[in-house]
Amino acid sequence: MDEKIDFFIPPACLDETEKVFSEIKIFLASNGYRVRTEKRNLVVAENIYSGEKIGVIFSGHKVSFFLDKNHKGLDLKKLYQKIFSLCGSKREVVFIFPLSKGKPKPKTFFSKNREVYNWAFLAVPLLTLLIFMAEIFQASIWSLFLYTVLLVFVFISLVSLVLPIVLKATRADDKQLLVIKIQVDGQELPREKYLSTKKALYQVVSQKIDEETISTVLRNNSVNPTKLSIYVFDFKEVFQTNKKKPRVYLVNTVKRVSYSISFPRPLVLISTGLLAELTPEELKGVLMHEYSHIKNRDTVILPLLFLTGVPIAYWILSSSPHSSFFIIFLVAYYVSLSILFKAIELRADVYATRKVGGDVYSKTIVKLEYPRLIRHETAVTKILNLLNIASYPLPTQRLHAVEHSHFIKGHIFEMIKFLFS
């Protein structure tokens, strides 16, 4: 086999891989291929007309086709359309209810966070002290370094205070979340029907939580799900074995957002959109990814490195104002930070993989990165991605790191190698 083509399974079909594999076998048969060998996740087929052979390896998140050098080609677009029609007609509707600990009664929906940390009030005097010190040292290189370090810590402290309030987030690690997911055929539920169904469910789950009761409520509201799943998610339980216990805040938005802050108090922000999209194990993988950033203090180190370039650039410019070395330094520093940021993200992926398993985390990446994943990658796109400091690593690079997570130690330099492999 001379050519390999990876076909990533659409997110809607990731929970129905057996149907996908059956559809692929039917697709091969319709293109004149007869199965010669079949072992677990491996199929070898031969074309009955030309004798060309094709190998197919199935995994939880993708299908790899191994083709002969002179193959006539397979219409994978047609295959994608067939598989997407297999799962794409089903719509998923999600209802989320915050529960009191040990009680079925729901709490108020997503109340605003009104916590104020005492350390935040140190921001104004600290900034005043920084300005005073800069004046005393007459903006020397060492005073600029000190100014930069203290400014980073003040900035991160303010962000950890303001962010939950601005996003109207609520504490989620002090309660459990009841998540009800249903699949319906055809179009999505109208907003009015969704709200009335949610209100009816709210009244029921305050008394009893079981599949039969919830199914009855759904049918009474003219909602006939083809699939129903119910689970209770406990954020505190996820971090029970970890040394640091971060506070978890839930943001009520359909956008799939997760963010972490490691100083001065570990903090994780996660959106209801992620809760709706992912399974409990996949959500745990996202939380472990964020915990890796907290464990390694990435949200402190990256801003420090970013702002440390300011005094260095100032020193170079003041030493030789007309030197081209200043421009070279800025470009090299920017590219280095961009590569470091992506390597840190890969390290967090490897950590999450070791906690939840490669199959689970690979599916998570496919669900969250599918639009980027199906784009055609070239050497140019890889270079542009490396130069874009605001961009995450390419999805294929993330999946590659996940596949090799058991063979690497997870050091930052190993992650940099993956970016260039």
Is there a contact between 178 and 96 (Cβ–Cβ < 8 Å)?
yes
- In this predicted structure, the answer to whether residue 162 has a pLDDT above a threshold of 80 is no
Average of per-residue pLDDT across 191-203: 87
Highest mean pLDDT among 10-14, 76-80, 166-170, 279-283: 279-283
What count of residues does the chain have?
421
What CA–CA distance (Å, rounded) separates 45 from 28?
8
Tokens at 116, concatenated:
């104020």
Angle ∠(69,74,75) on CA atoms, nearest 5: 145
What distance in Å separates the CA atoms of residue 343 and residue 338, rounded to the nearest whole number? 9
Closest residue by Cα to residue 21 from 1, 50, 42, 47: 42
Taking 80 as the threshold, does the pLDDT of residue 299 lie above it?
yes
Backbone phi and psi for residue 71, each to the nearest 5 degrees, phi listed first: -70, 155
**308 token code pair:** 């440390």
Cβ 7 vs Cβ 66: under 8 Å = no
Phi, psi of 106 (to 5 degrees): -70, 150
Give mean pLDDT, residues 72-85.
Answer: 74
* Mean predicted lDDT score pLDDT of the chain: 80
Hey, what are 134's tokens?
A: 């800069």
Q: Which of 314, 95, 294 is nearest to 199 (CA)?
A: 95
**Mean local confidence (pLDDT), 67-79:** 71
Domains along the sequence of the chain with CATH: 3-89 (3.30.310)
54 Ramachandran zone, left/alpha/beta (phi>0; psi -120 to 50): beta
Read off the pLDDT of residues 21-38 as tens digits, 9 standing for 90 and up: 888 888 888 888 888 888
pLDDT at position 132 over 60: no
Q: Which of 180-184, 304-308, 396-400 has the lowest mean pLDDT?
A: 304-308
- Residue 106: band (very low, low, confident or very high) from pLDDT cuts 50, 70, 90: very low
Confidence of residue 116 (pLDDT cuts 50, 70, 90): very low
pLDDT tops 90 at residue 224: no
The pTM assigned to this predicted structure is 0.84
